[in-house]
Amino acid sequence: MKKTIIFIIIVIITIVVLLVNSDYILKKIYKIKYEEYVEKYSEEYSVDKYLVYAIIKAESNFNEGALSNKGATGLMQLMDNTAKEVAENVVMEYESGITLYNPEKNIKLGIAYYASLKDIYKVDTVTLAAYNAGSGNVNKWIEQGTIKEDGSDIENIPFKETNTYVRKILKDYEMYKKLYDV
């Protein structure tokens, strides 16, 4: 009986401490892993590291072995053909079925790909839409006037998955900055 009461008290104290220190809980949800690669390549390609963490969280939840039902692979969920093309552009050796499971190479390729899209679309909202739905779709949406080039009307992104994706990344990006950008 005494052990049960002590256990309950310890649980209550733990809960209170965690509630008081909600950043502890939030940092478990919005974790940071692979910092050495994210920071290195974010700096090299001028992409905000907190945005990269938000992308990785959404794409794979930091699971380097992630494989989507569409064939996207690794931490940043890249398609093989896209990754091959990016690897050629950054002069990096690429081996289908292997390279994308390597955290450093996946992160480098993912950030390089994002940076190349950002060079085209200029703003993160539209760049994120292209990262998720592909440049062809985004170009068509802009040409048809469905979305604006400045990204001010993300609510008009016609693919529900992409619309939700962009909103999630932007929300998570803000949370990463709030928790870690001190």
Q: Which residues are catalytic?
A: 59
Rounded to whole angstroms, the Cα distance separating 95 from 99 reads 5
Rounded to whole angstroms, the Cα distance separating 105 from 64 reads 11
Rounded to whole angstroms, the Cα distance separating 116 from 18 reads 41
Structure tokens given for 30: 């919005």
Query: Do residues 42 and 48 touch, judged by C-beta distance below 8 A?
Result: yes
By CB neighbour count within 10 A (0-12 exposed, 13-18 middle, 19+ buried), where does 5 fall? exposed
